[in-house]
Every structure is written in C-alpha cells, then in structure tokens.
Amino acid sequence: MSKKSRKRKKRIRKILIGACGVLLLALLVLLTVLLIRLFSCGAKEASVDLSAASAVPTAAATLLPTDPPAATPTPYVTPVPKITDAWYAERNEALTQHVRAFSGLTDEEAIQKRVEGMAIDPDQKMVAFTFDDGPRDELTDGVLDVCEQYNVRVTFFIKGAYIAGHEPQLKRMLALGCEIGNHTWDHLDIEKLTTEEMRYQIEQVDDTLYNVLGVRTKLFRPPYISYGQKGSDTRNALIELMQKHGMAVINHTRSTHDTYDNYTEDMIYERMIAEKDESGYGLHKSIVLCHDKTQKTIGAFRRAVPVLLEQGYQLVTVSELLNCSDEGFRVGAIYKKAD
C-alpha cells in the first residue's frame, strides 16, 4: 500500500472514531436527562404517598362502606300537653304527688315520665269505667293489673268500711293515676237515712281517706243510684252537702249488668264494648258502671281494654272525662241519668 493510501485510511478512522465519540456523548446526555426525569417523578410520587400516610384519618375514612352513620343523641324533650286549662295543671300536679308518694319511684325524671304517659288528647274518643263496692283483695288487684298493663285509668267508688286492710290497693290506685270516689261508708240507701245519717255516711269516707292517703274525694255515687226525687228533702240535703265539700253526684250512662246472676262474662264484655247501648247512647264520653266484686267482671274488663284501645278509645277517670266535656265539672251537679 502506498503512503498516500495509508494516510487516507488513517484520516477516515479518526473521523469514525470522532463520530462515535459524539454519538456516545449524545447517548450519555440523553440517558442522563431520562434518569433525571424518572427520578424526579418518583420523588413526587413518594412525596404524595408520604403525605397521605402521615395524614390523620377522618371519621368517614375509618368507616367501612357498609357501616351506618353514627347516630346523634336526641335530647329528652318534655311533651307539651294539648290541654292548657287550669284543671289540667292541677290534675298533673296531683298525679305527680301520687306517683311520688305511692309508686315506689324516686327518680324525678322517671316520675315525670310516668305522669306524661297519662296525658289526655281531648280530640280523641274516651270512656270512663267505674268500679263500685270495693276495694277487695284479688278482685280489685285484677282491675289494677289491667290498668297497669295497658296504662289506662278507671274510677273506684269505694265503700268506706273496706278501707281498713286495703290500704295497698288504695295507694296503688293513686300511683296508677286512677281516681277514688265516695260510695258511702256502709253502702246504705240514702233515701232511707236522715240528713245527719247521710252526712255521716259520706263525710266519714272522706275523712278516713284523708287520714290514710292525704286525699279528699270530689265524686259521690249514691248506692243503688238512689238519692230522692227532685225537690225532695233528701235530694236538697245531698246537693247542699256536695256544694259544701266541692263534690258532684256521679251516676252512669251505661251499666254492664255485672251484678245480674244470669249475666255471663261474655255478656258483660259485649256491653262494655258495644258502640251503642239499648237506649242508643254511644260509648264515647260515657260513664260505664261495673263492680269489682265478681271474677266475671274482671275477666270481661281484661278482654275489653285492648279492644277499646285498638278502636282509639282512651280509658280515663270520671273527672278527666267531665273536664274534657262541654259541661265540665260543676260542684253540686248531678251527672248522667239525672231527672
């Protein structure tokens, strides 16, 4: 090979080596740029993950998708009674005192809830069941058991001679919101008594109840629904006595006939729930006559109460019914089946 040819090859080799060097340098620069960008992205992602990991989890983030939202406690709110008359405030105060004294409850909130559970809705149907001639042991207890089970109230027209020995039943009546009425001391026909004898028969019951329970009656039911003709001395003396003691005479609008020997429990039950009686008088705002002296009456009452409640009736005391009526409670008045 000539010297000239060798020089040309040598020059070409240098050019190739230089070009390879430039290309290699360019590749190195490109690789460096790619590595820098890749590192930068990774650093950002690591930064985000670190931030998310260090954040305090919220309540929502800690709940599983199926968990229900946490319930917010509802503070206890005292119901506002629908009746705002003065008698209703007095009635609630008396109920509070009776529940506090005789129910065994000591917590004031529990006492108030018990009284609030006895609220009356004057716009709903109501009926007043009354039980005469007690108290008696298991029979009166049977009526009270039904009252307690269904949170209903009735009125007991008691015989004064039965007070002694039945103090637990009398206290339980008041603790359940029931009402106690006067039915004379010995269950005597006041038409056959002198004025003084009649006065004793009524006042002795009232005074004894006050000594035992600290309450006085407002309601009087004459035995045998017998109290003299209008204008008679007996009738006039009775009205005067009622006015003196702030009482009223309470008869009835419907009898269950539970003292009839031929009346069965089924027959008594039917009379308790019949929408109208044989005279066409409706059950709403009626005063029903019963006696806590036979087991058939207790059985009929136990069956009747849930049926009447299902029909929308409120079982209330006589005073509650009268105060929710158009005529109200009037001292000295003679209610229902009067002349």
Hey, which residues are catalytic here? Answer: 132, 291
Q: Is 3 exposed, middle or buried (0-12, 13-18, 19+ CB in 10 A)?
A: exposed
* 276 CB-near residues (< 8 Å, 6+ apart): 282, 283
- Please, what is the Cα angle at 164 between 161 and 166, to 5 degrees? 105
Handedness of CA 119, 120, 124, 125 (dihedral sign): positive
Positive/negative CA dihedral, 320, 322, 325, 326? negative
Instruction: Output the furthest CA–CA distance in the chain (Å, rounded).
Output: 172
How many C-beta atoms surround the C-beta of residue 317 within 10 A?
Answer: 26
The three-state secondary structure class of 106 is coil
Which among 125, 142, 123 is positioned nearest to 134, based on CA atoms? 142
